[in-house]
Structure 1
Amino acid sequence: MGMRINARLPHAADLKAEYPLSDSIKELKRKRDAEIQNIFTDKSDKFIVLVGPCSADNEDAVCEYVSKLAVVNDKVSDKLMIIPRIYTNKPRTTGEGYKGMLHQPDPDQAPDLLAGLIAIRKMHIRAIKEGGMTTADEMLYPENRSYLDDLLSYEAVGARSVENQQHRLTASGMDIPVGMKNPTSGDFSVMLNSVVAAQSPHTFIYRGRDVTTDGNEFAHVILRGGVDKYGTCIPNYHYEDLVRLLDMYNKRDLKNPAALIDANHSNSNKQYKEQIRIVSEVLHSRNYNPELKRLIKGVMIESYLVEGCQGIGSNMIYGKSITDPCLGWEDTEQLIYKIAENC
C-alpha cells in the first residue's frame, strides 16, 4: 500500500487520563447537557446561539474569544443558550489547505497529529474552564470523537459528511444533540434521511469493535444553504424554505423535530456581514409562525475577534480567521443582544 505509519497514537482513554476533566467541569457539562436537551424536548424555550470562529486555530485567541462570550452570556442566559463553536477539524473540498488544529496545532508547520490531539483537548478544556460554557465541535472523523466526547455538549456533521454511513451510525450512539447539515447540493431529503439513521439503533464496527447503539433522539437538521450545478449558492433560510422543512418533518416519524440555521456558508455566500441580516430574517420568520418558532431552535454564526479572514504566513493578525471570513467581535456582541431581544 502507498501508506506509511508515522506514529502510533494513544488510545482515547489514555489521553483522557493524561488530560482529565476536573469535577467542576464534569458537573458543568452534566448541567449544560441537560439544559440543551430541554430545549430540544420543548421543556425550555431558550434559543440556541452556536457561535465562534470558522476554525479554532490558536488557543490563546480562541480562549480570549470565549471569555468575551462568557461576559455576554451572563447578560442573556435567561433567554439564550450560547454554545461556543470550537471547530478543530476542517473539511477541505479538494483536500488542500488548513485541515484544522487536529492536523496542524501550528498552522504554518507540518502536520503533527499526536501534538494535534493533545492541543485540541487542552484547548477545549481551557475554554470551558475560563468561559464556564461547554463547547461544540464538528465530527469530521467519527473515530476521533472519542478523544473529546467527555467534554462536548454539541456536535455537527458537515455537508460533505452527512451522507457517509459511518458518520450517521456514530451519531446514533451519541448522548448529546448532533446536527446533520444539508449536503452541498441543498437536498432536504438526504439531510432528513441522515436524521432518521441517527435516531435509529444500529450494529456496526467502531474502533475495531462490534458495537450496538440505541439511537440518538436529539439528532436534528442544520440548514446551511446549497450550491446548484453551476456553482451558484442557493440559500435555504427563507420563510418558504422553513415551511417546506416543517412540512417534510411532519411527514416523518422523527423524535424532537428541530432545526438550526447556519447563517454563513452557502446561506450567505460567505459574505460574512450578511449573517446579521440572515439571523434577523430567521427570527422574523419564527415570530410570524408559531410552528416555526417551535421547530427552529437556534442559529449558527461564524465570528472571531477580528472580522474577515487572512492567509497563513508571517505577520498574521491575532484572532482573525485563516479559513472562512467571520464577523468581528463588536458586531457579534451586538447581534447576540439583538437575538436576545427578538427571539
Structure 2
Amino acid sequence: MTVTQSPDASPTPSLDSRVTPVEPLLAPAALREEIPMSPTAGETVLNGRYEIAQVLNGQNDRLVVVAGPCSIHDPCAALTYAERLSDLARRVSGSLVVVMRVYMEKPRTRLGWKGLISDPHLDGSNDLNSGLRVARSLMVDILETGLPIGCEFLDPLTPRYFSDAVSWGSIGARTVQSQVHRQLTSGLSMPVGIKNATSGHVEDAVDAIVAASKGHVFPGIDDDGVASIVSTSGNPECHVVLRGGSTAPNYGPSDVANALELLGSAGLPQRLFIDASHGNSGKDHERQPHVAADIARRIAGGEIGIAGIMLESFLAAGRQDLVLGRTERLAYGQSVTDACVDWEQTTRMIEELAEAVEAGRSLRRAGAEDTPLLAEAALPATLPALA
C-alpha cells in the first residue's frame, strides 16, 4: 500500500493506492464527428433494426441469421468476410435477414485478450482511444457493404461510442444477471438478444427482458463524456438467446417449448434465437453445422417460435493462439478466441437455413400449419431516427 509522509503527522494510507495514472478518454461526440456514418450506412442500420423487429413481432416470416467471428481481431480480414457475407445475404434476402457478428469486446472467464477496443494493437498496450477509433471505422466500412451489424455490449460506457451503428445487440451469459446491463439495455435503440446463464437456466434471461423493458435512471456519460444521470424509456424488443449450458445443450424442441412457455408466462412475445455455438455445440465448432441442420429441419417442418440463429464463423476454420506483440505469426482470417467454422461451411449452413424457411412457407400455404404467426401491434411505416 502506498503511504504519504508529512513532517507533522504519522503515515496515512493513500485513498487510491491501486489506481495507476488516469488518462483522458475520447468523447463520444468527438468520435462520431471524426468517423461519421454516410446516409447509406445509416439506412443500413435502420433497415436492419426494422427487419429484425418485424421478425420478432411475427410480422415477417424470415429467419434472422447472426454470423461472424467470435471476436474481431483483424479489421482487414473482418472486412473481407463482410464483403462475402453481404453478397450471400443479398442472394438469400427473401428468406433470411443476415446480420454480421461484429464483436469488439471479449468477456473473459479469467484473463486474456479483451478485444479490439481494449487492445487494438494486440500487444498489451491497452490503447483504448485507438481501439474506439478502429472499432467505429470498421463498423462504418461494414455498413457500407449493406450488411447490418450485431455486437455484444459488455462495458456500460462504450455503447455511447458506436451503438448508433448497431442493428442487433446482445447481452452475454456472464452478464445476464447484471443490473448494470439490464439498465443499459433498457436504453438501447435496437433489438437485443439476452442469453441464458452459463448454467443453462433461462429464467435469468426472462427476468432480464422484463427488467430491460421498463425505464430506468442510472449514472453514465453524455455525448461530451461528462458524468451524467441517464434516463431510459425501456426496450420492448428484447428476446432470449438459447446458448446451451455447462452440462447440456438447450436447442432441442422441448427446450425451445419450455423457454417459450416461460416467456408466455411472463407476458412476453414467444419468439427466441438459438446460438449454434457455445454450450449448444459443446464448444466444438465442427458440431455447429449439426445444430444448424437440426434447426433447419424443424423450421422446414413447421416449428414456430424460432426467430433467429447465431453462427460463429470466419474465413478459416478453427482457432489459433494469440501471442501479444507477435501478430506476424497469425494466420489470416482465423479466430484468436473461440473456434469458428470456415467460409465454405458458413455458406452451406446459410443456404440450408434459407431453403428451410422456404419449405416452412410451402407447408403453411398448403394448410398444414395450424398455428399462425404471432401477431403484435403494427410497426411504424417510417423508420425511427438513429440513437
Between the aligned partners of 1:5 and 1:266, the Cα distance in structure 2 is 40
Distance in 2, Cα, partners of 1:52 & 1:82: 10
State the 4+ residue runs in structure 1 displaced beyond 6 angstroms.
none
Which of 275, 281, 284 is the matching residue for 1:268?
Answer: 281
Quick one: which of 29, 33, 38 aligns to 1:17? Answer: 33
Instruction: Give the CA deviation at 1:6.
Output: 4.2
Which residue does the alignment assign to 1:225?
244
Matched, 1:65 2:85: no
Higher-Rg member (1/2): 2
Q: Partners in 2 of 1:203 and 1:337 — Cα distance?
A: 44
The aligned residue for residue 375 of structure 2 is: none
In 2, Cα distance between equivalents of 1:201 and 1:259: 22
Residue correspondence of structure 1 range 132-143 to structure 2 within 5 A? 132-143=146-157
| Counterpart amino acid of residue 234 in structure 2 | G
Distance 2:202 2:124 in 1: 39
Q: Aligned with 1:273: secondary structure?
A: helix
- The one-character-per-residue Cα deviations of 1:129-157 (angstroms, maximum 9, x if unpaired) are 1x211201110112111111111001100
Please tell me whether residue 307 in structure 1 is matched to residue 317 in structure 2: yes
Provide Cα deviations, 1:45-85, integer angstroms capped at 9, x if missing partner.
11000000001110100000010111111210111000000
After the TM superposition, which of the residue ranges 144-153 and 206-215 deviates more from structure 2? 206-215
Question: Which of 282, 287, 308 is residue 295 of structure 2 equivalent to?
Answer: 282
Partner of 2:185: 171
Residue deviations 1:12-56, cap 9 Å, x none? 111101111112211222222222211111111110000000011
Secondary structure of the equivalent of 1:237? coil
Partner of 2:174 in structure 1? 160
Partner of residue 128, structure 1: 143
**For residues 276 and 74 of structure 2, what CA distance do their matches in structure 1 show?**
23
Tell me, in whole angstroms, the C-alpha distance in 2 between the residues paired with 1:338 and 1:285.
12
Q: 1:252, 1:222 → 2: CA distance?
A: 16
Secondary structure at the aligned position of 2:176 is classed as: coil
Aligned position for 2:70: 54
**Residue 91 (structure 2) aligned to one of 68, 71, 75:** 75
* One-letter amino acid matched to 1:157: I
Match of 1:192 in 2: 206
Alpha-carbon distance in 1 for matches of 2:141, 2:104:
14
More off after superposition, 278-287 vs 258-267: 278-287
What SS does the corresponding residue of 1:308 show, helix, strand or coil?
Answer: coil
Q: Distance in 2 between matches of 1:217 and 1:63?
A: 32
Q: Quick one: which of 65, 86, 101 aligns to 2:116?
A: 101
Report Cα offsets for 1:202-253 as digits up to 9, x if no partner.
22222232232111110111111111xxxxx311111111111111112111
The answer on 1:111 being equivalent to 2:126 is yes
CA contact (8 A) 2:153 2:169 kept: yes
Q: Deviations over 1:175-213 (max 9, x none)?
A: 210011111111111111001111112222222322321
Cα deviation code 1:257-290 (max 9, x no counterpart): 3211000011111110111110121233344454
- In structure 2, C-alpha distance between the alignment counterparts of 1:166 and 1:212, rounded to whole Å: 13
Q: Which has the larger displacement, 197-206 or 323-332?
A: 197-206
Match of 1:84 among 96, 100, 106: 100
**1:309–1:322 CA contact under 8 A, matched in 2:** yes
- Percent identity, please: 33
| Structure 1 residue 315 displacement after superposition | 2.0
Does residue 259 (structure 1) correspond to residue 272 (structure 2)? The answer is yes
Preserved CA contact (<8 Å) 1:108 1:312 = no
Number of corresponding residues = 332
Q: What is aligned with 1:329?
A: 343
User: Over aligned residues, Cα RMSD in angstroms?
Assistant: 1.3
TM-score (norm 2): 0.83
Q: Is the 8 A contact 2:37 2:140 kept in 1?
A: yes
> What's the offset of the Cα at 1:107?
1.9
Which residue number in structure 1 is paired with residue 379 of structure 2? none
CA distance in 1 between counterparts of 2:344 and 2:249 reads 26
User: Which blocks of at least 5 consecutive residues in structure 2 are unaligned?
Assistant: 1-15, 222-226, 358-387
Q: Which ranges in structure 1 are unaligned for 5 or more consecutive residues?
A: 228-232
Conserved 8 A contact 2:316-2:341: yes
**1:36 aligned counterpart, secondary structure:** helix
Which amino acid is 2:85 matched to? L
Report if aligned partners of 1:308, 1:321 keep a CA contact under 8 Å in 2. yes
Query: Structure 2: how far apart are the matches of 1:17 and 1:187?
Result: 42
